[in-house]
Structures are given as structure tokens and as C-alpha cells.
């Protein structure tokens, strides 16, 4: 049964050392929960970005909450590099598992389907393959001289995201963001922050059921108004560009980042 908790309680349910799957900046990022994780001094999180990361990943890394990240890339928008991720990469203070967007989605799809691996062809020939011994190339058993790559399943301990609405039964409205469904299906459980909790059963009508994630996959929900800020949430509200620019500048140095944490997180 889905638990309804506060944002702080939801963050407390995310254990140190867990494999935590999070979406990219434009999908629905649980920033209120991220700040709560930092306040509770989370440590040794193994972050899986689905498939890329942005401010959330950079903030957690800068706060010392992450020991390992698997990602197709971390950046603050199209033009700004992620300062804390870059600093950690240069210092070697976190383990980085380089991946690609299709590889991460394929690994999650394997877990979603309950199989140990997923075949994928598009990465063949990439230099990245040499750095991923867990990606295996075999001969296609149905053809001759036709190599195919096998990617191991990715099964997060927890998938974490922010959405517009949940109902009292624990169903969550995600609209067209179907990658969130894949995350939730692949993970052992899913934690969601939402803008509001509705009385209507989201699965009762075709109009809402098609865009909803069943409570079967949701372990905990916390109400957090404007919970994706300073990032945006679909058609609800846009990103706070001024704040994001200020964060990007602060993330360039240790001292400025610490000042940002003190003012906006702690």
C-alpha cells in the first residue's frame, strides 16, 4: 500500500548506498525531496540518471551525497557545464559509469520485463564499449557474422520523481512522460512528490487512466507544492531561469557552492 508522508519523511526512506534513478531536468525532478536528502546528509548514493542529469545530480554530488553515477551526461541546460560534477570528475571523488541514452533505457526495459539483459545494436563500434566490461558482444544466434551487444538489466532500488497529481489510492498522473513508467516498473519501488493530492480515482476514467502510473508501483507519496522548483513541471510552470543561472555560477567554485547550499538548501 502506498504511504502518504511528508517530504522530509520521504527523504528519510531513501537509504544511504541505494541505487537511485532520477529523470532529466525537463521531465519532473523531485527538487524538494533532493533538498531534503541533502539536509538529512544522505551519503554514498549510487545515482542513475534516466538518461541524463542536470541540477539535481550536480547538487547531490556537490553536497557529498553521491559515490557513483551512471549517466549519459550531466549538464546545466544546453550551454552550461555542471560545475560540481565536473569538479568531482576531475578530482576522482566519485565513480563514473559512462553510458548512452539508449543503453540506460534498454537496461531499465530489461528489468521492467524481468529478464537479465537486453540486446542493443547502436553502440557497436563506439570507443565507450572498451570502458564497459559489463556490456558483452555475442554473435546473433539467428544469423551468421552478425554481432549484437547485450546490456545487463538496471534495477534501481528506488525511482524518484515529481508529478502534478496523485489520488488517495496512490495512483500518479504522469501524462505523456512514459519514461517515468519504465523507471517505476524497473525499480524495486517508486517515491513521488506531487503538486496536489486529488480525491478523484485517476484510474476510474479513460481520460486520466491512460496517463497514470498505478499505485502498485508507488511506495510513497509526498505533497510538495512547486516541488520541482527551480526546474519546471510540464504545463504547470516553467523553470526559474534567473535562479538556474545563479546556481550555474555558484557551482563553479567550492566557496560559492557552499554559500548556495547555506542560503537555498540547508
Sketch the domain layout of the chain as residue ranges. 3-100+156-264, 117-152
Q: How far apart are CA 168 and CA 64, in angstroms?
A: 35
Q: Which parts of the chain register pLDDT below 70? A: none
Which residues make beta-bridge pairs with 97?
70
What is the C-alpha separation between 176 and 179, in angstroms, rounded? 9
> Looking at residue 192, what is its pLDDT?
98
| Predicted local distance difference test score (pLDDT) of residue 78 | 76
Model pLDDT, residue 72:
97
Topology classification of domain 3-100+156-264: Glutaconate Coenzyme A-transferase (3.40.1080)
pTM above 0.95, yes or no: yes
Residue of 128, 5, 142, 121 lying closest to 71 (CA atoms): 128
Helix (H) or strand (E) holding 112: helix 101-113
Given a contact cutoff of 8 angstroms between Cβ atoms, the answer to whether 82 and 58 are in contact is: yes
Is 68 in a helix, a strand, or coil? strand
User: Each residue of 26-56: pLDDT tens digit?
Assistant: 999 999 999 999 999 999 999 999 999 999 9
Residue 250: what pLDDT?
97
The pLDDT of residue 144 is: 86
Amino acid at each position: 500500500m502506498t504511504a502518504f508522508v511528508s517530504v522530509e519523511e520521504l527523504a528519510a526512506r531513501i537509504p544511504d548506498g541505494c541505487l537511485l534513478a532520477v529523470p532529466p531536468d525537463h521531465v519532473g525532478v523531485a527538487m524538494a525531496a533532493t533538498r531534503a536528502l541533502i539536509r538529512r546528509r544522505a551519503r554514498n548514493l549510487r545515482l542513475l540518471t534516466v538518461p541524463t542529469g542536470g541540477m539535481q545530480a550536480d547538487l547531490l554530488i556537490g553536497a557529498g551525497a553521491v559515490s557513483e553515477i551512471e549517466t549519459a551526461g550531466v549538464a546545466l541546460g544546453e550551454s552550461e557545464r555542471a560545475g560540481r560534477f565536473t569538479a568531482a570528475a576531475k578530482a576522482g571523488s566519485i565513480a563514473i559509469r559512462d553510458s548512452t541514452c539508449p543503453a540506460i533505457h534498454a537496461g531499465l526495459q530489461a528489468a521492467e520485463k524481468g529478464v537479465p539483459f537486453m540486446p542493443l545494436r547502436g553502440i557497436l563500434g563506439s570507443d565507450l564499449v572498451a570502458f564497459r566490461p559489463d556490456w558483452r558482444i555475442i554473435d546473433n544466434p539467428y544469423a551468421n557474422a552478425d554481432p549484437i551487444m547485450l546490456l545487463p538489466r538496471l534495477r534501481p532500488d528506488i525511482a524518484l520523481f515529481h508529478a502534478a497529481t496523485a489520488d488517495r489510492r496512490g495512483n500518479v498522473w504522469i501524462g505523456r512522460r512514459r519514461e517515468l513508467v519504465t523507471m517505476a516498473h524497473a525499480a524495486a519501488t517508486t517515491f513521488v512528490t506531487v503538486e496536489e493530492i486529488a480525491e478523484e480515482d485517476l484510474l476510474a476514467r479513460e481520460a486520466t487512466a491512460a496517463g497514470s502510473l498505478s499505485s502498485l508501483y508507488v511506495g510513497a507519496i509526498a505533497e510538495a507544492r512547486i516541488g520541482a522548483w527551480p526546474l519546471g513541471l510540464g504545463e504547470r510552470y516553467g523553470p526559474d531561469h534567473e535562479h538556474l543561472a545563479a546556481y550555474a555560477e555558484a557551482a563553479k567554485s567550492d566557496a560559492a557552492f557552499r554559500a548556495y547550499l547555506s542560503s537555498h538548501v540547508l
